[in-house]
Amino acid sequence: MKIKEMQLRKLLSQFHLTEFETEVLIATASIEEGKTLTYKELAERIGRPNSYRAVGNALGRNPLAPEIPCHRVIKSSGELGGYSGKGGNRKKKRLLRSENAI
């Protein structure tokens, strides 16, 4: 396990997340600025390819948005999907535009 991942795992442990939610957020933290993944791609990345709805639910519990960039996860259709961070989808769109991701 990388040092950064260990530090992130320790930080997330204080928020009482499930192991699944923690895995989703750690994988999300590795999405590069200016890039996006779909909920399905993120589910595949963590080895749970049929759990894309659960991935969305886990992202909805992200206590460190936008530092853990859940705004970089979108629907397979290209639609934004949800954003539970302050400002909702308007903020998600603004963040993605500022990163030249959309």
pLDDT of residue 1: 63
pLDDT of residue 15: 96
The Cα 54–Cα 14 span in angstroms is: 21
Cβ neighbors of 33 (< 8 A, separation 6 or more) are: 69, 99, 101
56: tokens are 């969305």
Instruction: Report pTM.
Output: 0.93
Give residue-wise pLDDT tens across range 43-95.
Answer: 999 999 999 999 999 999 999 999 999 999 999 999 999 998 889 999 999 99
The C-alpha angle 4, 8, 57, rounded to 5 degrees, equals: 130
Q: All domains of the chain, ordered by start, with CATH?
A: 3-98 (1.10.10.10)
pLDDT at 2 over 80: no
Which residues are designated catalytic? 70
Q: Where are the alpha helices (DSSP H) in the chain?
A: 3-13, 19-29, 39-45, 52-59, 88-98
